[in-house]
Structure 1
Amino acid sequence: MRETVIDIDYDDDVVLQGACGYDYRLDYSKMNTERGQSLITVGEYGQVDQIRTQLDILSEGSSASIDTVDSELNWLEQKAMKEDVVQFVHSEDRIKRERGKDNTYDHTLMKRDIQDESGYDDIELLQKQIELMKLKENENSKTIEMKSQLKELKERYRLREEKDRQYTERVRALKQQTRDLEQSPLEKQSVLSSLDGELMEPSHHKHTSNKHRKKITDKQEHMPFMIKSNVPKFSDAAQFQEWKIEVESMIISNIYHKEILRQAIRTAIGGKPRKILTTLKPTATTEEILKTLESNFGDIKSGESLMEEYYIAKQEKDEDISAWGIRLEELLQKAIDRGKIKEYRKEKMLKTRFWKHLGNTELKNATRMFYESDCTFEELRRNVRKEEQELKSAKEPEHPKQVNVHQMDNHLEILNDLKEQMKEMEKKINTLTQE
C-alpha cells in the first residue's frame, strides 16, 4: 500500500476539533509519525489523493495566468476544493476508521506492556518464593542439628546412668559378699554349738522335726552380726548428749546383736553415772537403760526455754567460730526434737543468728558478702573461720630480731672508748679553766 502525505495549510486561528477531540487526533498523529505512517493512506482515502493532484494543477494554472478573469475563477474553485478537503478530513467516518485502526494497535501495545509487567511480577514472585524456601531450609537444618545434639546428650546421660547403675549394683554385690563372708564363721560356730548341744541331749530329743530345724535356720539367717560392739565410755554427765547420739546411731545401724550391744552399753557406763545401774534390773533392755540415763543426765529444758536461749545467744568473748556455731546448732536441734520448730527452718535460723551476733565487728563486715549470698550455713561458717585466721595473722606482732653477741661487744667497746675520750676532754677543759 502506498502512503500519501497531504499538506494542508491552516490558519493560526483555526482549531481542528474532530469527533474524538483535538487531543485524540494529536496523539495518534504523533504515534503514526513515529511509525513512519501518515494519517491518511491511499486504500482508505483514495479520493483525497486525487484531490491533491487537482489542487496541484489548479495552483500551477493560477500562477500562469494571474491577471486574467480565469484566475479569479480558478482561485474560487481552489478555495472550494480546500474547504471540501478540510471537511473530509474532519469527517466522522474517517476519524472512526482511523480510531479503530489505531486502537487495535494501541491494544496490542497495551497487551504487550501488560505481558511484560506480568512477566516482571512473576520473576519477583519467584525470587521471593526462592528466598522463603532458602530460609525454611536453613531453619529446618538448624532444627535437625539441634535435635541431633539433644539426641546425643540423651544418649550420654543414658550411658552415664547405666554405668552408675552397674557401679551401684557391683558395690552392693561386694558388700553382700563381705557380709556373707563375715557371717559364715558365726553361722558355722552356732551350728557347731547346736550340734554339741544335741550330742549332750537325751536320745528322745535328738529326733527333732525338720520343720523345727528349718525355723531355727531361718532365724539364724536374719540375726544381726555376732561381733563385739565398741561403745564409747560414759563417765562425765556433761557429755551425756554426745554419748547418747553415738549409742542411738549404733542401734539404728542394726549391725550388732541386741544382747551384745546391751551388755556393751552397761560395760561402757562408768564413774558416777554407773550408780544408775543399781536401780535397774539385770534384764533391763537397752531402751530402758537409755531412758533412765536421760531422766537423770539429759537436758530437761522445755522448748520455750530453748527458743528463748536461742534468741538471746551471742558469741562469747573467748569463744571461737567453731564453738559458737556448734552451740547454736545444739540449741536448734533440741528445739526440733521437742517439736518447737520445723526442720526446714533450721538452716535459715542458724545462718541469720550466727552472722548477726558475731563478736568481732571487723570480721562481720569482712564476711557480709557471704551472708547475703545463697551459700549454706556450713559454707558461711567455713568462710568466717578463714577470715578469722587471716585477721589474726595480720595482727600478730613481728618477732624482734636477734642481736649478734659479737656485734654487741663491738658496740660496747666503742662506747667505752667514747667515754674515755670524753673524760680526757673534761680534764683538758678543767686545766684550761684553771690557767
Structure 2
Amino acid sequence: MASVKGDCVVLVRRLSPTTTEDSLREFLGTVGDISHIQFGRDCLTGELTGNAHCAFRQCSEAVQAIAELNKKSLDGNSIEIMEIPKSNLLFSIKSESPPDNTARTQTIIQSPLKLSLFSGEPKPKGGEVPFEMWKHEIRCLQLDDNCNAQSLVRLVRRSLRGEAGQLVLNMGIDSSIDQILDKLEGFYGTVESGAVLLQQLYSARQGLDESITAYSARLQLAIDRVEQRKGISPTAKDETLRVVFWKGMSDESLKQAIRHKYEVVTSFDELVRIARQQEQENGEFQKFHAPQRSRQRVGGANAQTVDTEVDLVKELREVKNKLKEMEINSCSSNVSGRPNNDSSNSRPYRPRPRGPCYNCGQPGHIARECRIPPPPPPAHYPPHPSHFPSPPPLFPPIHSSSSNVSPQYNSPLNEGRPLPRGGQ
C-alpha cells in the first residue's frame, strides 16, 4: 500500500528511467511547493514503472501544474500530469486538530479491492469460483480494517452473476453481508450433516488414473467440510486423514514401498510428501527401464534409423491397396472382358472387335444382341418326336401257364413306355 500525504495529489506518467526525485521536484517546483513524491515500482521485479505520485501543499498549485506542465519535456520524455483516478482514492483519514487549529488530512492510495465472481453454476468457468471459496474471500475482507461494510456490500453485489445475482437482487438494497450470505448458503452451501460427510470420507478411494496430489487434496477438502459441519474435532483430523489416505491407495507397489514409513510417521502432510516422492521415483524408474522398440538401418551409405513397426504398418497398407486394386480389376474384367493384368500395362485398354453374329452373320455384335428376327427352322430339323418309332419294351412279356389268370395281366402295365429303373 502506497501512502501520499496531502490533499492535492497529481499523477505524473511517462517518466524517463533516469529521472530522479530531485529532478522531478525541481521541475514541479516552478509552480508550487512539493510536500511528497513517491515513484511507482513493479511488485515482482522492483523496477520503476515510469509513474509517480506528487502531492502539492495547495490545491491551486496542483491545478496550475496540470494546466501548465502537462505535455512538457523532462529528461527527454514528454510527461503527462493528471488527477488521481477516484477508483484509487478509497478513503481519507482526517486527524485531530493540532494546537494551531489547522485541520490535516491524509489520503491513502492503494489498488481497488477485488472479489472473485460467483454465479451458482455447478461447474464454475470464466474466472468464477465455488461458493465456499467465494464465501471465504468475503470473510477475509470483513476482517480487513481498510474495507468498510458499505464498500463490501457493493463489492459483493458486483461479484454476483446469473442465478445468484437474481436471488440477491430481489432481497432489496438494504440487505447486509450476513443476510446475503445466509440467503445463498441455503441454495449453494453444504447441506449434508457432519455424520454423512464423514461416512463419505471413510468410503473415499483413489482413482486408477488419480495422482497422489489430487487424491490427498480431495481428502483434505472433504474433511474440512466435515469439520465445518461439526462432524469431527480438530484434534482428530490428522489421524483420520492418515488412516483414510492409507486405506484408499490403489497402487499396491507404492503402498508396500512406504509401509515402513506409515508405521513411523504420524503426520498426514509428511505421509503425503513421502508418497509423492516414492510415486515420482517409481515413474522415473519405469520410464528408464521401459522396453525400447527394435530399430534397423536401411538405405546403404545414407542409411537412416527407422522404426520396424512403422515399416510393417506401411507394408501392410501397401498390400491392402494392391489387393483392393486387383479386386477392382477382376470385377471390371468380368463386365467388359478386359484381362486382370491390364493394370500393369501402361498402354490404354482397347476392346477387341466382336466376331460375326450367329443369327444374321454380321460382325460387331453377338446373337443375343441381334435385333433381326431369327429365320424359321427347316422342316427336316429338328424332327418331330412322332417321327421316331416307339422303342421296344425293356422287359419281354411274361406268359403264365395257369388258366385262372386273365390274359390282360400277362403284359406289362406300361406297355410301349419305358418303366422306372428296377420296376416291372
Q: Greater helix share, 1 or 2?
A: 1
TM-score normalised by structure 1 residue count: 0.42
TM-score normalised by structure 2 residue count: 0.43
**Larger-gyration structure (1/2):** 1
Q: Greater strand share, 1 or 2?
A: 2
